[in-house]
Amino acid sequence: MNKDIKEITISEAQNLVDQWIKTVGVRYFNELTNMTILMEEVGELARIMSRTYGEQSFKESDKGKDLGDEMADVLWVLICLANQTGVDLTQALQKNFEKKNIRDANRHQDNEKLR
């Protein structure tokens, strides 16, 4: 990571996206539009993943695409949706870890397919 760039928390990211949307972006797209944009961005990420790590070859239009940038696009729109729907992603992620630690405590260690 570039040392000149300050690391940000999930909460800070939510605030920064909100500030950007309300100033530069004018307003949020509605939730359904953003859900569709999220699917579009996930598709773009999938395309780069399949060409980089899968069997598909790169098309001319795919060359030069940055995997990290595609992931950031997905994260950006996910943060927009969280902001619009009142989800605190920090709390949601903490609760998700708790759920996984209880539900999956031994699940993966006991999975023969993972050995």
Tell me the mean pLDDT in the region 81-109.
93
Each residue of 63-86: pLDDT tens digit?
789 999 999 999 999 999 999 999
Report which residue type is found at 51. Answer: R
Write the CA distances from 4 to 1, 20, 39, 57, 71, integer angstroms. Answer: 9, 20, 32, 35, 21
- CATH numbers and ranges of domains, the chain: 10-87 (1.10.287.1080)
pLDDT of residue 1: 54
Q: Kind and range of the H or E element at 10?
A: helix 10-23
- The yes-or-no verdict on residue 55 having pLDDT over 80 is yes
